[in-house]
Amino acid sequence: MTEQLTERTISTVGSVRYVQKINRYVVQLCFHEEHAKKCWLTDRQLALLEDAFSRTPHGYSTGKVWVTGFFDARGYYRYCRVDRKRFEPPEQYDLSDLEEAPDEAAD
């Protein structure tokens, strides 16, 4: 049975607080066009999340590079990835009519 995960764009990490008693972090995640949410993360999850934000240009999600978080059905944070806007090449035009004719006088 595969678990259904939902994707949400994480704008930035609001605050991080370590709870020594249970060896976890309480992390406030700020979402794009949604309210912030506090999540419990392990050391590894937090390290991977911070690494994902270090690969964005300004340390937070932008229109070209953003961090996508994956959450399970109960709303618990699972993992994230960095997504980039795909490059759309410009339309190709036929430029053959702009080529110069070979110089026949040079023969």
pLDDT, tens digit, 9 for 90 and up, residues 28-87: 999 988 899 999 999 999 999 999 999 999 999 998 999 999 999 999 999 999 999 887
pTM equals 0.74
Give the number of other Cβ atoms within 10 Å of residue 67's Cβ: 23
92 within domain boundaries: no
- Looking at the 3D structure of the chain, how many domains does it have? 1
For 39, other C-beta atoms within 10 Å of its C-beta total 20
96 inside domain = no
> Is residue 50, in this structure, part of any structural domain at all?
yes
Instruction: Give the residue numbers spanning the domain of 13.
Output: 6-84
Q: Does 107 reside within a domain?
A: no
